[in-house]
């Protein structure tokens, strides 16, 4: 854990609602870091995640908008059918490029772009999910000196995503959801 953390990225898929519900509402009102979140949502569905979590959280929660400056203490959800990227000037951008691992938004795309922008000041978290999205992105975060946290696969609704992340990032910290929430509160 470092005092220099500047941003958090989270990726989740199957079981995401329950996993995020154990983390995001635990953040205090004065939480200073921005959090960018990719959840695999079907392209043809309207996402209600930002709305749902805004009612549960003490921090601001909203759906990310293209070219929006990233501000601390805000949770940004990727909109359905768009990749969410962090630009070098620390603004958000949305892309309709091809799906990655059948996913748009892709966790890998968010993690890799955020790792480029924040380097060692980034905390990346892979939660429950039924595919391998996020593993390569987490590896990029680690390669650039960032912090990697992975939900304990034994506790995940779908263990494939955390297991894939651990295989590619054996030094990642494997934690329970409550331990992840505690880690973020202490950052």
Q: Which residues does the annotation mark as catalytic?
A: 13, 40, 133
With beta carbons less than 8 A apart as the criterion, state whether 105 and 84 touch.
yes
Core vs surface per residue 109-129: b (16+ CB within 10 A) or e: bbbbbbbbbbeebbbbbbbbb
Which residue is it, tokens 């030094």?
171
Neighbours of 42 (CB within 10 A): 9
Whole-angstrom CA distances from 10 to 3, 44, 70, 115 are 19, 22, 15, 12
Pairwise CA distance, residues 168 & 171, whole Å:
9
């Amino acid at each position: 854990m470092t005092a220099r953390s500047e941003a958090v990225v989270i990726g989740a898929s199957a079981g995401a609602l329950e996993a995020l519900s154990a983390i995001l509402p635990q953040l205090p009102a004065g939480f200073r870091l921005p959090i960018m979140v990719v959840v695999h949502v079907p392209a043809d569905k309207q996402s209600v995640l930002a709305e749902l979590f805004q009612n549960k959280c003490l921090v601001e929660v909203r759906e990310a908008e293209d070219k929006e400056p990233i501000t601390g203490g805000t949770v940004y959800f990727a909109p359905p059918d768009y990749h969410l990227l962090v630009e070098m000037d620390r603004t958000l951008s949305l892309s309709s490029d091809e799906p990655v691992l059948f996913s748009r938004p892709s966790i890998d795309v968010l993690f890799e772009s955020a790792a480029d922008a924040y380097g060692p000041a980034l905390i990346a978290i892979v939660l429950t999910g039924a595919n391998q999205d996020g593993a390569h992105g987490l590896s990029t975060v680690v390669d650039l000196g960032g912090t990697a946290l992975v939900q304990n696969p034994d506790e995940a609704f779908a263990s494939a995503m955390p297991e894939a992340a651990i295989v590619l990032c054996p030094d990642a910290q494997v934690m329970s959801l409550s331990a992840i929430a505690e880690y973020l509160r202490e950052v």
